[in-house]
């Protein structure tokens, strides 16, 4: 437990520093590091890391996808657009597929391509939030709370009232009662975070009713991401995706729910449903 607490404390400090620097190039590098590490972990878990050249191509694309918005935000390198480097990435993967066709199967090709684009896109929405001016930090914090804090409510409610285990083969410790507690708790937590930002910190006004239901939806969406990542671990026979956070596992162990919650929250934000 002490290892988990120390590791979490270090992670929180790093996250706070990253949020303070959300308007700088360093934040893009930070998200790029998280993205590349997550892709590396999923490749290692599924055996795709043996395709070294293809993996390098995936890492380069993910890194570019994280840092390029920083240039675009300052009116630079528009000629090197997403369509260009995305097209170059797909072309490179096709060439490598043809070159290594005896060992690099089409299932490997599509898995590596899909996993890279999915993870890059999902975490890229956090970069987009960071570029939304003064509200960027609040939106990122709200999103991460929506992805992570449902587990706390689920844990305590599950310990007290949990009896029904709906997914014993995927995640035997999760209970239906805990899920309900986590869903409601998440809605309340996002309300509290929004209230602090709106009223106490004098930030932008918030649609509280929508935020509450968004919090509950995040708990369910995050659960899908968590269970999906857990199923991959069970099918590949691993306990954790990595050990970058001692006691917590790897990046994928911490960001599995974020991968689905962040795009959902970004949609709500861009539709004007979170801030008034």
Q: Are residues 206 and 125 in the same domain?
A: no
Q: Which among 130, 155, 172 is the end of a domain?
A: 130
Q: Are residues 254 and 274 in the same domain?
A: yes
For 185-198, what is the mean pLDDT?
96
Q: For residue 6, is it within any domain?
A: no
Q: For residue 15, is it within any domain?
A: no
Q: Which among 130, 159, 180 is the end of a domain?
A: 130
Q: Taking 70 as the threshold, does the pLDDT of residue 2 lie above it?
A: no
pLDDT of residue 246: 76
Q: Taking 90 as the threshold, does the pLDDT of residue 77 lie above it?
A: yes
pLDDT of residue 1: 59
Q: Taking 80 as the threshold, does the pLDDT of residue 160 lie above it?
A: no
- The CB-side HSE value for 125 (13 A sphere, CA atoms) comes to 22
Q: Are residues 182 and 275 in the same domain?
A: yes
Predicted confidence band at 5 (pLDDT cuts at 50, 70, 90)? Answer: confident
Q: For residue 18, is it within any domain?
A: no
Angle between helix 106-130 and 82-99 (nearest 10): 160
Residue 88 sits in which domain range? 24-130
Q: Are residues 144 and 269 in the same domain?
A: yes
Q: Are residues 95 and 155 in the same domain?
A: no
Convert the pLDDT of each residue in 207-231 to its tens digit. 999 999 999 999 999 999 999 999 9
pLDDT of residue 248: 76
Q: Are residues 198 and 256 in the same domain?
A: yes
For 176-182, what is the mean pLDDT?
85
Q: Are residues 155 and 91 in the same domain?
A: no
Strand partners, 275: 206
Q: For residue 125, is it within any domain?
A: yes
* Exposure letters 31-63 (e unless 16+ CB within 10 A, then b): bbebbbbbbbbbbbbbebeebeebbebbbbbbb
Name the burial class of residue 111, with classes exposed (0-12), middle (13-18) and buried (19+) by CB atoms within 10 angstroms of its CB: middle
> What's the total number of domains in the chain?
2
| Averaged confidence pLDDT in the chain | 92
Convert the pLDDT of each residue in 98-150 to its tens digit. 999 999 999 999 999 999 999 999 999 999 999 998 899 999 999 999 999 88
Q: Are residues 274 and 139 in the same domain?
A: yes
Q: Taking 80 as the threshold, does the pLDDT of residue 173 lie above it?
A: no
Q: Find tokens 């309900």 and name the residue.
A: 180
Q: Are residues 196 and 111 in the same domain?
A: no
Q: For residue 71, is it within any domain?
A: yes
Q: Which among 110, 130, 150 is the end of a domain?
A: 130
C-alpha angle 193-201-73 in degrees, rounded to nearest 5: 85
With a pLDDT cut of 90, the percent of the chain lying above it is 77
With a pLDDT cut of 70, the percent of the chain lying above it is 97
Which of the two residues, 89 and 10, has the higher pLDDT score?
89
Q: Are residues 139 and 182 in the same domain?
A: yes
Q: Taking 90 as the threshold, does the pLDDT of residue 71 lie above it?
A: yes
Q: For residue 19, is it within any domain?
A: no
Convert the pLDDT of each residue in 228-271 to its tens digit. 999 999 999 999 999 888 777 899 999 999 999 999 999 999 99
Q: Are residues 120 and 168 in the same domain?
A: no
Q: For residue 152, is it within any domain?
A: yes
pTM of the predicted model over 0.85:
yes
Q: Taking 80 as the threshold, does the pLDDT of residue 170 lie above it?
A: no
Q: Are residues 65 and 178 in the same domain?
A: no
Q: For residue 78, is it within any domain?
A: yes
């Amino acid at each position: 437990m002490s290892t988990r607490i120390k590791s979490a404390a270090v992670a929180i400090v790093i996250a706070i520093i990253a949020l303070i620097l959300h308007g700088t190039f360093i934040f893009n590098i930070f998200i790029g590091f998280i993205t590349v590490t997550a892709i590396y972990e999923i490749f290692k878990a599924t055996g795709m890391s043996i395709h070294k050249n293809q993996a390098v191509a995936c890492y380069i694309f993910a890194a570019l996808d994280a840092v390029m918005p920083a240039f675009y935000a300052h009116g630079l390198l528009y000629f090197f657009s997403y369509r260009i480097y995305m097209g170059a990435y797909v072309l490179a993967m096709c060439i490598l597929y043809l070159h290594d066709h005896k060992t690099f199967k089409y299932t490997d090709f599509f898995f590596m391509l899909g996993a890279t684009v999915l993870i890059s896109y999902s975490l890229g929405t956090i970069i987009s939030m960071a570029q939304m001016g003064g509200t960027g930090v609040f939106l990122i914090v709200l999103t991460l709370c929506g992805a992570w804090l449902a587990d706390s409510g689920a844990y305590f409610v599950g310990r007290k009232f949990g009896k029904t285990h709906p997914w014993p083969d995927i995640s035997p410790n999760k209970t239906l009662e805990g899920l309900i507690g986590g869903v409601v708790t998440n809605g309340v937590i996002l309300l509290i975070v929004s209230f602090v930002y709106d009223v106490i910190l004098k930030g932008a006004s918030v649609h509280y009713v929508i935020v509450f239901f968004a919090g509950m939806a995040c708990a369910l969406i995050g659960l899908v991401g968590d269970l999906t990542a857990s199923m991959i671990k069970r099918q590949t026979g691993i306990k954790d995706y990595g050990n970058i956070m001692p006691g917590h596992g790897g990046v994928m162990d911490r960001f599995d729910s974020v991968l689905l919650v962040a795009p959902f929250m970004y949609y709500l934000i861009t539709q004007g449903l979170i801030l008034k």
